[in-house]
Structure 1
Amino acid sequence: MLRADAARRVEQLRARVVGSARYQEGEEPAEDAGALLAEAGEVLGELEDLIRRINRTNAHAVVEGGGTLTDALARRDVLRLRHSVVTSAADAAAGRDQHGAVRQLRSELKMLSALPVAPLRAQADVLAREIREVDVLIQRSNWEVDLLD
């Protein structure tokens, strides 16, 4: 939560710096871009320290089923990618990437699926369940594990 807040703060400061970096001659800038840039640097330094602490904690925190929190995060990331690939393959095999293209004449070539759609959908469902389970494990660990210094 702290990490997300710091990242949002940096993005807000970045937008304010960009908005105040130039101003019309004879006018005053809306804000002091230099001060905003310095503030962004401070928040980025705090964010770096926080990320280091989070990474250190994740590498040392053992989760249910063995392995570290870092291992669980890597597992979730790969499961998400795997789910995306399988879902995309099923959509393509089902003709979903054709934007509703339908054969209009008998003389047109018929499109055939090179992959079995139903088993791919079933595999995607299993992967989605695994993602949810790993997510629950990660969320629970986030509440149970104290952040290291």
Structure 2
Amino acid sequence: MKLATALAERSDIQNRINTISVRLDNNAKVQEGDVPAEDPKALMEELDRLIVRLEDLVARINLTNSGTVYEGKTITELLAHRDCLKKKVRVLRDFLNTASDRVTRMTRTEIKIVSTVPVTEIQKTVDGLAKKLRNVDEKIQELNWTTELV
């Protein structure tokens, strides 16, 4: 099985577990004398099966990510790098949005508000980081589709 297939299955299992959680909550109590719409015991058995499969998949995905090396870095390191790039790009974009907001003055006597940073220069930096992020993400996706799961 390819790593990408395992990642898709993991996502599907996580969604199914979330659905079972809601279904369990919906069938936790009924009016005395009524029966629940679904059997909570059957739902818990399904949950147990899914949890066992999820645990196996997560362990194998993590082992694969930590054991697969590309250009001197493991997939785990590439994922950490991508996550940090995403965070930095998001923070800088939010900052630039605030820094580039125009404050309209009705009269010349009102206080003038100016940016504290060179917006254009920082925007070029953010654009470079965004390109780097896309490249790292593409490489991770490629590795996901070419790497066999441990």
Tell me whether the two structures share a fold, i.e. TM-score over 0.5.
yes
Partner Cα separation in structure 1 for residue 113 and residue 34 of structure 2: 64
Q: CA deviation at 1:37?
A: 2.1
Q: CA deviation at 1:130?
A: 0.8
Partner Cα separation in structure 2 for residue 108 and residue 26 of structure 1: 72
Amino acid at match of 1:48: E
* Aligned with residue 91 of structure 1, among 97, 103, 106: 97
Aligned to 1:144: 146
Partner Cα separation in structure 2 for residue 14 and residue 101 of structure 1: 48
Which one scores higher on RCO, CA 8 angstroms, separation ≥ 6? 2
Identical aligned residues as a percent: 37
Alignment of 1:39-118 (within 5 A): 39-63=46-70, 65-95=71-101, 102-118=104-120
With over 3 angstroms needed to count, the CA separation of the structure-2 counterparts of 1:44 and 1:110, relative to structure 1, is same
Partner Cα separation in structure 1 for residue 46 and residue 33 of structure 2: 26
Amino acid at match of 1:81: K
Q: CA deviation at 1:101?
A: 5.2
Moved more, 32-41 or 124-133: 32-41
| Structure 1 residue ranges, 4+ long, deviating more than 2 angstroms after superposition | 100-108
Show structure 1 runs of 5+ residues with no match.
none
The answer to whether the 8 Å contact 2:103/2:113 transfers is no
**2:26 maps to 1:19:** yes
Secondary structure (helix, strand or coil) at the match of 2:73 reads coil
The answer to whether the 8 Å contact 2:13/2:54 transfers is yes
Amino acid at match of 1:122: K
Partner Cα separation in structure 2 for residue 115 and residue 69 of structure 1: 36
Partner Cα separation in structure 2 for residue 18 and residue 101 of structure 1: 50
TM-score where L is the length of structure 2: 0.89
Show structure 2 runs of 5+ residues with no match.
1-7
TM-score where L is the length of structure 1: 0.89
